[in-house]
């Protein structure tokens, strides 16, 4: 079975500082990894994904994430946080394989709070 | 349309009633997903359609839940004999192809409250 863990319920960071939101996954075979953001009373918005290739992937709004196969992690990062980045962030994994139906499994989410 | 559209945005019903939630995916998207999100939780997979057929319904919690997509576009999630525990935001998403590298595009959800 595939699963995602986001160990921090909340991350607090000052505006202008770098931020990291952690994600680890468990899946048999190769993973496809995704980050989504959810603003209050809004749907989930896609930020970025890792499929294959370069372990560092860049996405929307200046976010990036690093895939680490040995640590089974896919942490979300941004060099300089903005107050407007404050939102709920979800990591998700999909398993690659012949029996894969495309189901995307989400973590519990991490609330990012950026203070001025 | 430009994005995934879900109706109604809010639905309040009484325990035991029947409800239908509708999803209109992005035009041309062949894959359609239903998720359920409870307060403080991540989205929980319910069912996935590829075209008209349900490719994976392993997330449906019990036989009170059913979903259809008769023409391969609009989908309806149907809940019979609603219970208070069914209260949640029901999210619909669509994806361009069945290739598993594609990201999902989500609607804003239908908030169901069962009194």
The secondary structure of chain B, three-state, reads: CCCCEEECCEEEECCCCCEEEEEECCCCCCEEEEEEECCCCCCEEEEEEECCEEEECCCCCCCCEEEECCCCCCEEEEECCCCHHHCEEEEEEEECCCCCCCCCEECCCEEEEEC
Closest Cα in chain B to A41? B108
Which pLDDT score, from 0 to 100, does residue A101 have?
62
- Closest by Cβ to B42, choosing from A32, A94, A109: A109
Q: Which of B27, A91, A57 is CA-nearest to residue A66?
A: A57
**DSSP for residue A52:** S
Q: Mean per-residue pLDDT for B75-88?
A: 97
A88, containing H or E segment: strand A87-95
C-alpha Rg value of chain A to the nearest Å: 14
Q: Does A31 touch chain B (CB under 8 A)?
A: no
A111 CB within 8 Å of a chain B CB: no
Measured CA to CA in angstroms, residue B63 lies from A5, A36, B81 at distances of 29, 30, 10
Measured between beta carbons, the chain B residues lying within 8 angstroms of A3 are: none
Question: A58 vs chain B: nearest CA distance in angstroms?
Answer: 15
Q: Give per-residue pLDDT as tens, B19-45.
A: 999 999 999 898 899 999 998 889 999
Residue B1 has pLDDT above 80, yes or no: no
Band (pLDDT 50/70/90 cuts) for residue A87 is: very high
Among B4, B36, B39, B37, smallest CA distance to B22 is for B4
Query: Which of B48, B103, B105 is the closest to A101 by Cβ?
Result: B48
Find the closest chain B residue to A5 by CA distance. Answer: B42
Q: Which residues contact A70 (CB under 8 A, 6 or more apart)?
A: none
Q: What's the pLDDT score for residue B97?
A: 67
Q: From the CA of B98, how many Å to the nearest CA of chain A?
A: 7
CA distance A46 to A49: 8
Residue B62 at interface with chain A, using a CB cutoff of 8 Å: no
pLDDT at residue A46 greater than cutoff 70: yes
């Amino acid at each position: 079975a595939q699963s995602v863990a986001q160990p921090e319920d909340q991350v607090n960071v000052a505006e202008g500082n770098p931020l990291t939101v952690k994600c680890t996954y468990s899946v048999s075979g190769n993973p496809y990894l995704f980050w989504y953001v959810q603003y209050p009373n809004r749907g989930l918005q896609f930020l970025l994904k890792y499929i294959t290739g370069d372990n560092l992937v860049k996405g929307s709004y200046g976010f990036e994430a690093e895939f680490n196969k040995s640590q089974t992690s896919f942490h979300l990062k941004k060099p300089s946080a903005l107050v407007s980045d404050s939102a709920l962030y979800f990591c998700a994994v999909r398993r690659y394989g012949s029996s894969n139906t495309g189901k995307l499994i989400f973590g519990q989410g991490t609330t990012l709070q950026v203070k001025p | 349309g430009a994005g995934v559209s879900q109706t109604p945005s809010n639905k309040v019903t009484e325990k035991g009633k029947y409800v239908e939630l509708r999803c209109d995916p992005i035009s041309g998207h062949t894959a359609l997903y239903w998720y359920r999100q409870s307060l403080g939780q991540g989205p929980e997979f319910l069912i996935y359609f590829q075209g008209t057929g349900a490719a994976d319904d392993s997330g449906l919690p019990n036989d009170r839940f059913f979903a259809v997509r008769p023409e391969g576009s609009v989908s309806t999630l149907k809940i019979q004999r609603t219970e208070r525990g069914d209260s949640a935001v029901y999210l619909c998403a669509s994806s361009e192809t069945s290739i598993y590298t594609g990201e999902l595009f989500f609607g804003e959800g239908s908030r169901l409250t069962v009194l």
